[in-house]
């Protein structure tokens, strides 16, 4: 396994290099001259030249690329153009609030979706199955903005069950008070697509030969579903969950923005609004690296779930 992990890490380097080159090209040739953004409307050629020299963008492109590679290797992307904070400090302070919402949300939505999908698969083809699928389709058709506005207005503002917005300094206060409603909204939004997808995974396994063999041996249907079918359907579920984790970290920006949660998603929106290129570049590179690492973890989990899987 060690040799496999080392080989996979080595294979990540060309992919990461391709992402770095793409980011470099986009920000240098498509994104415009950052000196004009920082200088503002009331600027003169001397100010523009000084800013370009400070940023190093007056150097040849190969020098700029080398500087970018050194920033990635040293985890030092400089300072934010809008706040003056170091990018490493920005990411370190914003990651905690995002994980406070993301980790419980991911665990709860996966467990609940698996349980509901197994229950629906148990009554497959029945009226209950069809009604649940219709409800999932309706739920998926409603924008997350509608859920945020409705839940925030009724549960937080009118009924006072949750704070409308805010974030504190204590972990448990943030987890059980400020994160409760965002997590609830995330569950309502994500349960429907997850349930539909996991149901298809289970139905694919139910028609396999080993299920018919288990039934012929007299095993009960719940045991077949919860023991045999669930274990064999776990691999595509792990693939789906692990591949979605990096995108979830960024994709929660609407929830973070509406509830004033100082997380990574909200920071991305602010960085885009302010044309804060160092923050955007750092988050882009780190999300790409996280995606490749989570794919590696998914491969390792495959063997833990099914010993027949060989890591080669």
277: closest CA among 49, 47, 43, 27? 27
40/36 Cα distance (integer angstroms): 6
Q: Tell me: do 227 and 261 sit in the same domain.
A: yes
Q: Tell me: do 205 and 263 sit in the same domain.
A: yes
Q: What is the pLDDT along the chain (312 residues), one digit of tens a residue?
A: 788 888 888 888 898 899 889 888 887 776 666 777 676 666 677 777 787 777 777 788 888 888 888 888 888 888 887 788 899 999 999 999 999 999 999 999 999 999 999 999 989 889 999 999 999 999 999 988 899 999 999 999 999 999 988 898 899 999 999 999 999 999 999 999 999 999 999 999 988 888 889 888 888 888 888 888 998 899 999 999 988 888 777 767 889 988 989 999 888 888 888 778 888 889 889 888 888 999 888 888 888 887 777 766
109/164 Cα distance (integer angstroms): 23
SS3 10: helix
Q: Tell me: do 13 and 149 sit in the same domain.
A: no
250/102 Cα distance (integer angstroms): 10
Q: In the prediction, which pLDDT does 41 show?
A: 62
Q: Is residue 255 part of a domain?
A: yes
151/162 Cα distance (integer angstroms): 10
Boundaries of domain holding 207: 95-274
Q: Tokens standing for 75?
A: 């985890």
| Cβ contact 121:132 at 8 Å | no
Sign of CA dihedral 245, 247, 250, 256: negative
Q: Tell me: do 52 and 168 sit in the same domain.
A: no
Q: Is residue 187 part of a domain?
A: yes
Q: Tell me: do 68 and 111 sit in the same domain.
A: no
Q: Tell me: do 184 and 245 sit in the same domain.
A: yes
Q: Tell me: do 66 and 212 sit in the same domain.
A: no
Q: Is residue 88 part of a domain?
A: no
Into how many domains does the chain fold?
2
Containing H/E element for 250?
helix 230-251
Q: In the prediction, which pLDDT does 42 show?
A: 62
Q: Is residue 287 part of a domain?
A: no
| Cβ contact 277:27 at 8 Å | yes
* DSSP-derived secondary structure for 111-174: HHHHHHHHHHHHTTTSHHHHHHHHHHHHHHHS-HHHHHHHHIIIIIIIS-SS-SS---S-HHHI
114/116 Cα distance (integer angstroms): 6
| Cβ contact 23:299 at 8 Å | no
Q: Tell me: do 99 and 239 sit in the same domain.
A: yes
pLDDT per residue over 65-83, tens digit each? 888 888 888 888 888 877 8
First to last CA, the chain: 9
pTM above 0.75, yes or no: yes
Q: Tell me: do 59 and 150 sit in the same domain.
A: no
Q: Is residue 280 part of a domain?
A: no
pLDDT per residue over 269-280, tens digit each? 888 887 788 888
């Amino acid at each position: 396994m060690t040799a496999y992990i080392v080989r996979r890490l080595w294979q990540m380097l060309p992919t990461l290099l391709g992402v770095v080159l793409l980011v470099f090209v986009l920000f240098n040739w498509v994104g415009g001259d950052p000196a004009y953004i920082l200088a503002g409307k009331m600027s003169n050629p001397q100010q523009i030249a000084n800013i370009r020299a400070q940023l190093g963008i007056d150097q040849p492109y190969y020098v700029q690329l080398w500087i970018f590679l050194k920033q990635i290797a040293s985890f030092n992307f400089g300072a934010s153009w809008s706040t003056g904070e170091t990018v490493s400090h920005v990411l370190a302070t914003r990651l905690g609030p995002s994980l406070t919402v993301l980790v419980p949300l991911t665990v709860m939505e996966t467990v609940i979706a698996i349980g509901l999908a197994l229950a629906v698969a148990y009554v497959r083809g029945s009226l209950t199955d069809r009604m649940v699928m219709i409800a999932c389709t309706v739920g998926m058709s409603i924008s997350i903005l509608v859920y945020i506005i409705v839940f925030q207005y009724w549960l937080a503002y009118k009924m006072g069950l949750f704070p409308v917005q805010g974030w504190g300094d204590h972990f448990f206060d943030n987890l059980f008070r400020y994160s409760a409603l965002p997590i609830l909204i995330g569950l309502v939004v994500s349960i429907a697509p997850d349930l539909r997808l996991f149901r298809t995974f289970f139905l694919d396994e139910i028609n396999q030969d080993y299920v018919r063999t288990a039934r012929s041996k007299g095993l009960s249907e719940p045991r077949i579903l919860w023991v045999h079918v669930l274990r064999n359907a776990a691999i595509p579920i792990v693939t789906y969950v692990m591949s979605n984790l990096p995108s979830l970290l960024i994709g929660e920006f609407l929830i973070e923005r509406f509830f004033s949660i100082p997380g990574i998603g909200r920071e991305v929106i602010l960085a885009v609004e302010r044309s804060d290129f160092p923050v955007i570049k750092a988050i882009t590179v780190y999300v790409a690296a996280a995606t490749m690492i989570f794919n590696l973890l998914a491969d390792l989990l495959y063997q833990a779930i099914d010993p027949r899987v060989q890591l080669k």
